[in-house]
A and B are shown apart, each in its own frame.
Chain A
């Protein structure tokens, strides 16, 4: 202090002490500058807070509010006994929340999660182009692995990829081996084309809907209602609080008429074969089993992004995706003969006394039609038992095409059965009117001859065959086939005025096929009166093509349709074994399914073994057994 004052005194610096106001103008200048600075700052706030605060409020909202989908699990699909066929399993899916989606983030996200960048961009673009509401996030990956979850967790903060959002979802789980695959169908993400169709327009992009089978037919019932959760997040992507939470409503379970035991047996019988098996309860129309082979694994479709195996399935020449049970339209061959027999009896063109002689064929309208054997003198019963073509040529010739068509239509051929599955085929029953309509040509009587043995233009589906024969077997009542155990489907049967005695004659013939040394002896089942009929439908003229490469892939289709018990049928089974060469080879398929049905019935009918009750009132209740010991006893 002394130093300082001393120096000032020594220097006698008058300016220092005497003229502090020398800079007052400059200080005023500073003040004006300060005012300018503050105005400059205030205009900055004015710009942001007064002129367009809405824009920034919206962006603050985009920052902090995230919509998280709450996906409703689909209903389970159960068999007739309540056993689960289709279940769900919990997994994690990755969504891009659109509130804070940045285009430049897509590449690193794609790289981090092993996604194809191009298709990710295309996917995001598709979702955005549809103008869906901002809050609907875009699903981009399913079934996240722990590694992928870790990647998401470490990158979802505000300054990296805030759009990442992991959602726990219920993923469809189908039987692994393709069991009942065609009946169940599969789910998938709704496609662009589907969104454009009026009946699916109510769905949103990204929705998982049933694409085929029961999943498609009963989609509205199985599909729940998705919820929506809006949360406020911080810059690290952590939830701060929930803004609103609409809970998901899960879909309803669906109980099928399918019996898993029967279905499993039917699947096994068709192992390594091409074709279909349909088992119906003719008394109700319930489908007990429905198999189409080759099958596919619906799990390959269950995701949003289908695996590459999907392409392989599409390109497979055997068409595994085709549900042959309702879509294969094939000539019924000799399985058509019971219907011919009924038509002949009902229309009166034949009776019990009607007999012909079979020397291995017959000539009609100047052309020789071959029989597959020489059967000598043949009446209705022998004609069915030995499947004599010559006999039915004659029946057909007497009936004429339009009466054949009339009875074929009566049993259900040529129409959809109305089963609750998509894409059912209707088959074909030729008639003179049909020919004029389609070929502008009259029907030639010679054409009737091959129709009489189930060849020519006639085609049926396996379901139609089981339906037709089953309805006939119970006296001319056709209950609509259905797959869902539901009172709504118990529609009154379509009845036809048929003489039951005539039916008895046909049934008796069909009994002979199996039990009297006929063509279907391989369907014989001890203790059960099985009736049936074989069918061998030609795809190509055997004499010309047998032995050639073409002939090998166009071997005759083998059919068998059978029902049991003979007098009061409970089950009817139709089997189509494509390129099986002879109907006899399809018979064991039907036999095995029938056996499974009656074995199970017998097992259930057995009285429960009586177990002696030990008075245990003096004992303490034992602790529950651990799970491992409980399973020891098979």
Chain B
């Protein structure tokens, strides 16, 4: 590593924000799993976070140009692994998402996010001209669409959807004629209802229905949203205190250490806690965007903005779901939700952002 890339250039602010968010997460996992069979989840999460820092270091170390250069190789590997997951993966909760044994397994689709970020950055940064041509767009959409489809048939609609904002923001930044955008909106408007009936599985359709009217389905995902809203509301301004939330402690909240962790957090820490946590996420997001602005090239900018888009999408969908403003899609809240693959993948991506930052001065 050249001498000018010193520790001083490291994104310490981002690191502090990440540490703070992770600490809130570990605390909440501890509180939510205190009386359950998953009491070890909080220190397991701690170990994953440590693993995450190593991942972040690795993500920082290798020049992102090198990684971008191998983007298509990664892409091929990712597609192959996803296909393999579908063939030999482990089934749990009616979905085939994991490779490994029941105690040691990774969720491949989480790492595919990273590949998509690299892929989109590589593809868009190589284009010439101010605006994206429709042909290029379709090619890129096809490239992103393949892993999306593979994840969707696991089935894991939520994770599949997280690939879209990376593509979307990339295309937006690359420049795109508004006519095309309008055309796509029209097409989506036509395809969405058709796919609602033909593509979505019953439980997914149920989720859409219960998002629009939770009382329709008080036992399924509607139940989850109702319980989540109760938990959030009961937290009021100051929260009910760590390990004091009855919704969380009584397990009325579903998966309160994973997808609904922010609901548990909101119950026990109240509106004040929510503002603090969302503030941390916002600052982290702005820090990533700032790194995008100072990137030395388009590719770096695309990488950072891909990660930012992904993070923003996750926060929007997950936290929105917690307050009943988004449908239940089953995607975790980055850095807080318990889960190894998600943590490590997120840290790898933050490593990429740091990577771009360290190499912002063109020599």
Residues on A close to B: CB < 8 A? 1, 3-5, 7-8, 11, 13, 15-17, 19-24, 26-27, 30-31, 33-35, 37-38, 40-42, 44-50, 52-53, 55-57, 59-61, 63-64, 158-160, 232-236, 240
Contact = CB atoms under 8 A, between A and B. Distances in A.
Given A41-B315, A240-B249, A60 B274 contact: no
Interface string B251-291: 11000000000000011001100110010011001100100
Interface string B298-311: 11110001001100
Nearest to A17: B297
B180 interface: no
A30 B69 contact: no
A235 B271 contact: no
A57 B252 CA distance: 14
A154 to B, nearest CB: 15
Given A42-B274, A55-B233, A1 B69 contact: yes
Contact of A34 (B223, B230, B285, B300): B285
Given A30-B169, A48-B323, A53-B234, A19 B271 contact: no
Interface stretch (B50-58, B60-68, B137-145, B185-193): B60-68
A3 B35 CA distance: 55
A44 B63 contact: no
Contacts of B281: 38
B294 to A, nearest CB: 8
Top 4 nearest A-B pairs (CB, nearest first) are A56-B233, A4-B69, A44-B323, A53-B236
B232 interface: yes
B118 to A, nearest CB: 12
Nearest to B299: A16
A45 B227 CA distance: 14
Contacts of A22: 298
B250 A240 contact: yes
12 contacts: A1-B69, A3-B69, A13-B128, A15-B128, A16-B298, A23-B173, A48-B229, A49-B266, A49-B271, A60-B234, A240-B35, A240-B249
B348 interface: no
A26 B252 contact: no
Contacts, number: 170
B230 A44 contact: no
A41 B249 contact: no
Contacts of B319: 41, 44
B295 interface: yes
Nearest to B316: A37
A158 B230 CA distance: 14
B233 A26 contact: no
B237 A49 contact: yes
Contact of A236 (B172, B249, B251, B278): B251
A40 B312 CA distance: 12
A57 B236 contact: yes
Contacts of A40: 316, 320, 325
B214 interface: no
Contact of A49 (B128, B236, B320, B362): B236
Contact of B271 (A27, A46, A158): A46
Residue from A5, A37, A41 whose CB has the most chain B CB atoms within 10 Å: A41
Interface string B315-337: 11001101111000000000000
A32 to B, nearest CB: 11
Contacts of A31: 286, 289
Contact of B250 (A23, A159, A160, A234): A234
A53 B271 CA distance: 10
B233 A49 contact: yes
A234 B316 CA distance: 29
B341 interface: no
Contacts of B219: 159-160
A44 B262 CA distance: 13
A30 B305 contact: yes
Contacts of B312: 33-34, 37
B246 A60 contact: yes
A406 to B, nearest CB: 77
B231 interface: yes
B85 interface: no
